[in-house]
């Protein structure tokens, strides 16, 4: 599909960039320096230096417990690192509260979906729009001050819902949605914020393959509109398909980064997924480096959909 192909000018940005850990990129949108987070004795995240390319799709991969979600939490102000700094669009974000990170244009979704159960689907969407006049106490009491804006927001919400095939659910409570539909709603809701960068934590987990394909197209559209995307995904086919750049974490550290083709053959990545002893295992060693590793069987991925916390 021609629309899927990234505009040449956009990916060309990375042409001269070497697939090395911590490599500098032209015009990065997010720059991370020395961010460390430990829980007791466990160092969940320890990133020396990372730059994310603007306007492109970066895939973040790594085995379970690698620290991907914790990294998301740290970047977006939901958790505080023990040390380190990071900046978004050149502005430091350390100490900035979570809602202000979102207002600055970096919005994240959650691995464990957080649908607002007892709000209708459409209210979930409308909530996410920014700069709402009716959210201020006094103007809230004067509907003429916000009614027009509310109408525009609703139109935009319906537009997005239609793209995510949720428009028929508009007046259902979000709590009645299925696990996969909640994932879709959460992604659509994040886009209502009109962020410069979205961080998606396993957006396709529990979503059926057909819809996954359409989601992938949607993510590519976002790139077409100039949005930066960072997403966590365990399905390597998906990662290879849509990423312009891939970062691999293991045990809190970044162990490889590069264009998708280089990651499948990267020995550190294979080590991380298959265990370090794979060299001694003749059944795995020779073939493993030839094709991208499939770290997680699909049955395991599905489990991410049932882990509703409430």
Partner 1 sequence: MNIGAVFADAARAALDPFAIAYALAAIGLNLHFGFTGLLNFGQAGFMLIGAYGLAITVSTFGGPMWLGILVALLGSVLLSLILGLPTLRLRADYLAIVTIAAAEILRIVFRSGWAAPVTGGAFGLQRFANPFYALNPIPDGRYGVANWAYSERTLWLMVVGWSLVGLMVLLVWALMRSPWGRVLLAIREDEDAARSLGKNVYGYKMQSLVLGGLIGSLGGIVLAVNQQAVNPDTYQAIVTFFAYTALILGGTGRVFGPVIGAIMFQVVLSGFDSFLRRAIAGGVIPADVLATQEVGIVRFILVGLGLMLLMIFRPQGMFGNREELLLDAR
Name the segment binding ligand ATP (CB under 6 A); options: 19-27, 60-68, 97-105, 287-295: 60-68
Q: Is 62 in the site for ligand ATP (CB under 6 A)?
A: yes
Residue 66 binds: one of partner 1, ligand ATP, Mg ion, none (C-beta under 5 to 8 A by kind): ligand ATP
Q: Which residue is nearest to Mg ion (CB)?
A: 69
Q: Is 67 in the site for ligand ATP (CB under 6 A)?
A: yes
Q: Is 22 in the site for ligand ATP (CB under 6 A)?
A: no
Contacting partner 1 (CB under 8 A), which of 10, 23, 49, 114? 114
- Do 290 and 57 touch, CB atoms closer than 8 A? no
Contacting partner 1 (CB under 8 A), which of 80, 99, 151, 298? 99
- Cα–Cα distance list, 121 to 41, 55, 116, 176, 191 (Å): 42, 29, 8, 10, 14
Name the segment binding ligand ATP (CB under 6 A); options: 38-46, 141-149, 157-165, 220-228: 38-46
Give 250's strand partners.
253
Helix (H, G, I), strand (E, B) or coil at 259: coil
Paired tokens of 309: 């916390």
- Give least dist CB 202 to Mg ion, A: 7
Measure the CA–CA gap between 231 and 198, rounded to whole angstroms. 8
Measure the CA–CA gap between 137 and 81, rounded to whole angstroms. 34
Q: Is 112 in the site for ligand ATP (CB under 6 A)?
A: no
Contacting partner 1 (CB under 8 A), which of 17, 119, 240, 268? 119
CA angle, residues 162, 237, 258, in degrees to nearest 5: 110
Q: Is 162 in the site for partner 1 (CB under 8 A)?
A: no
Q: Is 109 in the site for ligand ATP (CB under 6 A)?
A: no
DSSP state of 291: S
**Residues with Cβ within 8 Å of residue 95, at least 6 apart in sequence:** none
Paired tokens of 123: 């209210």
DSSP state of 30: E
Return the beta strands (E) in the chain as ranges: 28-39, 42-53, 57-61, 83-88, 91-92, 106-108, 197-201, 228-232, 245-250, 253-258
Q: Is 69 in the site for Mg ion (CB under 5 A)?
A: yes
Q: Is 39 in the site for ligand ATP (CB under 6 A)?
A: yes
Name the segment binding partner 1 (CB under 8 A); options: 86-94, 112-120, 255-263, 289-297: 112-120
Binders of partner 1 among 216-275, rule CB under 8 A?
Answer: none
Residue with Cβ nearer partner 1 (82 or 178): 178
Residues at the site binding ligand ATP, with contacts judged by CB under 6 A = 39, 42, 44, 62, 64-70, 111
């Amino acid at each position: 599909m021609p629309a899927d192909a990234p505009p040449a000018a956009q990916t060309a940005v990375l042409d001269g960039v070497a697939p090395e850990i911590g490599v500098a990129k032209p015009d990065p949108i997010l720059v991370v320096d020395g961010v460390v987070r430990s829980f007791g004795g466990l160092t969940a995240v320890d990133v020396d230096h990372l730059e994310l390319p603007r306007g492109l799709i970066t895939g973040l991969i790594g085995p379970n417990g690698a620290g991907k979600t914790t990294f998301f939490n740290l970047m977006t102000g939901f958790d505080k690192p023990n040390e380190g700094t990071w900046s978004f669009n050149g502005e430091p974000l350390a100490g900035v509260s979570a809602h202000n990170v979102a207002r600055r244009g970096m919005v994240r979704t959650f691995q464990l979906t957080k649908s607002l159960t007892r709000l209708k689907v459409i209210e979930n969407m409308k909530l996410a729009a920014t700069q709402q006049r009716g959210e201020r106490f006094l103007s809230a009491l004067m509907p003429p001050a916000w009614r027009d804006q509310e109408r525009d927001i609703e139109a935009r919400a319906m537009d997005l819902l239609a793209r995510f095939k949720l428009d028929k659910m508009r007046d259902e409570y979000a709590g009645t949605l299925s696990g996969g539909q909640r994932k879709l709603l959460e992604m659509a809701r994040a886009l209502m914020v009109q962020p410069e960068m979205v961080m998606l934590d396993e957006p396709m987990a529990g979503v059926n393959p057909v819809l996954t394909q359409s989601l992938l197209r949607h993510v590519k559209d976002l790139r077409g509109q100039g949005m930066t995307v960072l997403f966590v995904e365990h399905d390597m086919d998906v990662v290879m398909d849509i990423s312009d750049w891939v970062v691999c974490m293991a045990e809190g550290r970044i162990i490889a980064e590069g264009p998708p083709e280089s990651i499948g053959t990267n020995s550190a990545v294979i080590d991380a997924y298959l265990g370090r002893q794979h060299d001694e295992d003749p059944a795995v060693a020779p073939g493993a480096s030839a094709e991208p590793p499939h770290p997680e069987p699909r049955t395991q991925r599905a489990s991410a959909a049932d882990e509703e916390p409430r």
